[in-house]
Amino acid sequence: MASLTAPVAATTLSGAPAMARPTGHAPTYYAATAAPVPPRPALEGDATAQVCVIGAGFTGISAALHLAERGLSVIVLEGKRVGWGASGRNGGQIVNGYSRDLETIRRRYGADAASALGSMALEGGDIIRERVARYGIDCDLVEGGFFAAFTPKQMRELEHHKRSWEEHGHHGLEMVDRAALPRVVDTRRYIGGMIDRRGGHIHPLNLVLGQAAALEANGGTIHEDSPVLRVEQGAKPRVVTARGAVTADFVLVCGNAYLGDAVPEITRDIMPVSSQIITTEPLPGELLDRLLPTNLCVEDCNYILDYFRRTADNRLLYGGGVVYGGQDPASITGKIRPAMLKTFPELKDVRIDFAWSGNFALTLTRVPHVGRLTPNIYFSHGDSGHGVTTTHLLGRLLAEAVAGQASRFDAFAALPCLPFPGGRTLRVPLTVLGAWYYSLRDRLGV
Ligand SMILES: Cc1cc2nc3c(=O)[nH]c(=O)nc-3n(C[C@H](O)[C@H](O)[C@H](O)COP(=O)(O)OP(=O)(O)OC[C@H]3O[C@@H](n4cnc5c(N)ncnc54)[C@H](O)[C@@H]3O)c2cc1C
């Protein structure tokens, strides 16, 4: 199926690890086109560091790099490969803000919380751009994103978001009406939308791999193939894997939807949710120039949304749908291709080269779940589907908190995280019911 295949990791004749495309990932377009990278050895025996980070996704690597840049010693333990989780297989869309808009945050948590979160809402995207520039990370960064509306109600909501964003200093927003739509996206599905000039898109696996290399260049250590089994709490917590342990002053838990039972105290309030993506064969440049003339990434405004963009090698990468609980659907292509054809019927004869699924962590409130398990064990997860920018911000806030400047971290940690109704047994069917209700409202335009 895949027209590009990831070569098997190899060693040189001298026994040193060879540079090869990373293996052991989901069968994604990203893994097949990732920058060559040496495999990192698993943790063997005992080690010490000032900070031990669990999970090498955007959150963990972002935090670790901020810490290493501050001169702290950092060991990252990754159960699979760097970027194996959501960070290496997402839609690659730099979406500013959070999974709940600032007005909802103000209504729920008050003006101070909205003002604090609003002041940080563009920072994650800025961190990505700064790092791409500083470390020369080749991750196909393209500027600009588009929110597409199906209904007049969604257009009104976008106008409202624009005003609210502008109050927080975000002036890169532009409404687009139906007449102007073809200059952004050539489909009859939408009635308009909003351009975010400070949005954009990237090859997410190459972004996380580039930051991992920067971490190592700054003195940090990463062990792959090192799933953490448990964390022993204490004045110096001990992070235990099957073949070793790291004793640290601080532990940052960044395993998100894939954390499993390693730190059971913090997984109760998040639910894994899967989303699916397909990628076409390379398409004629003229066709993509017509479908997406300005190369913005697009996500629609529905409760369960579609998202798509052009890749650097002229494919259409199209994602959508969710499965609450985090399972894969029977056929990913069977699920996503019809959605792609609704948007772009002219792609009916186009081959699908890649199809994959990945899990993100959802919270009931749709704001991240951030806090301290003990005074020296911190966690951040639950970006609820919009995590490319938020994870980079929260990585910085974790690092600030470890360095003793916790006020911005505490602005998130103070937000209450509510358990899903129904507990572990009923939370999935109850969430499906809620999603069905909101999707029906989308369809009815109310
Ligand atoms: C299909 C899909 C599409 C998405 N598209 C977008 C998008 O376009 N834009 C956007 O903003 N957001 C998107 N998201 C969300 C975004 O990708 C995530 O919010 C973000 O990547 C989460 O990063 P993370 O580092 O917290 O978690 P992850 O990237 O999942 O990283 C967690 C890491 O921790 C490791 N780990 C877990 N447990 C252990 C353990 N016990 N021991 C050691 N290691 C462990 C895992 O192996 C994994 O590598 C998408 C998500 C998915 C799944």
Give the pLDDT confidence score for residue 47 in this predicted structure. Answer: 98
Give the pLDDT confidence score for residue 436 in this predicted structure. Answer: 61
Ligand 1 atom at minimal distance to the Cα of residue 85: 30
Beta strands 244-253; 45-54: pairing state: parallel
**pLDDT grade for 324, boundaries at 50, 70 and 90:** confident
Q: Give me the phi and psi of 199, to 5 degrees please.
A: -80, -165
Residue 29 has pLDDT above 50, yes or no: yes
Instruction: Please report which residue ranges of 74-110 form alpha helices under DSSP H.
Output: 102-109
List residues bridging with 372 in a β-sheet. 378
Q: Whose CA is nearest to atom 38 of ligand 1?
A: 259
Half-sphere exposure of residue 422: CA atoms within 13 angstroms, side-chain side: 14
Give the pLDDT confidence score for residue 2 in this predicted structure. Answer: 35
Query: Is the distance from CB of 281 to CB of 407 less than 8 angstroms?
Result: no
Residue 20 is classified by DSSP as: B
Residue 87 is classified by DSSP as: G
Integer distance in angstroms from the first to the last C-alpha of the chain? Answer: 41
- What is the spatial distance between Cα 62 and Cα 212, in angstroms, rounded to a whole number? 9
Q: Give me the phi and psi of 45, to 5 degrees please.
A: 85, -165
Which of 422, 398, 426 is CA-nearest to residue 412?
Answer: 398
Interval 314-341 mean pLDDT: 92
Give the pLDDT confidence score for residue 269 in this predicted structure. Answer: 84
Q: Is 348 left (phi over 0), alpha (psi -120 to 50) or beta?
A: alpha
CA triple 138-198-31, angle to 5 deg? 30
Interval 157-165 mean pLDDT: 93
**pLDDT grade for 264, boundaries at 50, 70 and 90:** very high
**pLDDT grade for 388, boundaries at 50, 70 and 90:** very high
List residues bridging with 201 in a β-sheet. 93, 142
Residue 189 is classified by DSSP as: S
Which of 309, 330, 334 is CA-nearest to residue 319?
Answer: 309
Give the pLDDT confidence score for residue 31 in this predicted structure. Answer: 97
Residue 17 has pLDDT above 70, yes or no: no
Q: What burial class does residue 261 get, using C-beta atoms within 10 Å of its C-beta: 0-12 exposed, 13-18 middle, 19+ buried?
A: exposed
Instruction: Please report which residue ranges of 218-309 form alpha helices under DSSP H.
Output: 285-291
Give the pLDDT confidence score for residue 199 in this predicted structure. Answer: 97
Residue 7 has pLDDT above 50, yes or no: no
Give distance in angstroms: CA of 12 to centre of ligand 1: 32
Interval 276-287 mean pLDDT: 98
Give the CA-trace dihedral at 418, 253, 61, 363, to 10 degrees.
-10
Q: Whose CA is nearest to atom 52 of ligand 1?
A: 90
- What is the spatial distance between Cα 58 and Cα 205, in angstroms, rounded to a whole number? 10
Site of tokens 């790099």 = 65
Long-range pairs for 330-338: beta carbons < 8 A, 24 or more residues apart: 332/276, 332/277, 332/278, 332/356, 332/357, 333/278, 335/276, 336/276, 336/277, 336/278, 337/278
Residue 171 has pLDDT above 80, yes or no: yes
Ligand 1 atom at minimal distance to the Cα of residue 61: 25
Ligand 1 atom at minimal distance to the Cα of residue 82: 49
Which of 273, 261, 293 is CA-nearest to residue 360?
Answer: 273
Percent of the chain topping pLDDT 70: 91
Give the pLDDT confidence score for residue 21 in this predicted structure. Answer: 80
- Count of CB atoms situated within 10 Å of the CB of 423: 10
Give the residue, out of 77, 90, 139, with the most ligand 1 atoms within 8 A of its beta carbon, to mutate for a pocket test: 90
Domains assigned to the chain? 29-89+205-269+368-415 (3.50.50.60), 142-201+271-362+425-446 (3.30.9.10)
Give the pLDDT confidence score for residue 434 in this predicted structure. Answer: 65
Give distance in angstroms: CA of 395 to centre of ligand 1: 13
Residue 99 has pLDDT above 90, yes or no: no
- What is the spatial distance between Cα 206 and Cα 29, in angstroms, rounded to a whole number? 11
Name the helix (H) or strand (E) containing 352: strand 352-362
**pLDDT grade for 200, boundaries at 50, 70 and 90:** very high
Ligand 1 atom at minimal distance to the Cα of residue 228: 42
Beta strands 142-149; 192-201: pairing state: antiparallel
Residue 5 has pLDDT above 50, yes or no: no
Residue 14 has pLDDT above 80, yes or no: no
As a whole number, the mean pLDDT across the chain is 91
Give the residue, out of 43, 59, 87, with the most ligand 1 atoms within 8 A of its beta carbon, to mutate for a pocket test: 87
- What is the spatial distance between Cα 407 and Cα 336, in angstroms, rounded to a whole number? 42
Q: What is the pLDDT of residues 37-92, one digit of tens each?
A: 988 999 999 999 999 999 999 999 999 999 999 999 999 999 999 999 999 999 99
Name the helix (H) or strand (E) containing 174: strand 173-176
Instruction: Locate 340 and state its tokens.
Output: 């792609």
- Of 6-20, 49-63, 103-117, the poorest mean pLDDT is in 6-20
Interval 377-388 mean pLDDT: 94
- Of 160-169, 178-187, 199-208, 273-282, the poorest mean pLDDT is in 160-169
Distances, alpha carbon 49 to alpha carbons 219, 236, 334, in Å: 11, 10, 47
- What is the spatial distance between Cα 362 and Cα 273, in angstroms, rounded to a whole number? 7
- Count of CB atoms situated within 10 Å of the CB of 108: 14
Residue 354 has pLDDT above 50, yes or no: yes
Which of 258, 255, 267, 339 is CA-nearest to residue 305?
Answer: 339
**pLDDT grade for 6, boundaries at 50, 70 and 90:** very low
Give the pLDDT confidence score for residue 428 in this predicted structure. Answer: 73
Give the pLDDT confidence score for residue 9 in this predicted structure. Answer: 35
Which of 77, 123, 81 is CA-nearest to residue 98?
Answer: 123
Give distance in angstroms: CA of 229 to centre of ligand 1: 19
Query: Using a 6 Å cutoff on CB, does residue 128 contact ligand 1?
Result: no
Residue 342 has pLDDT above 70, yes or no: yes
Residue 437 has pLDDT above 70, yes or no: no
| pTM for the whole structure | 0.94
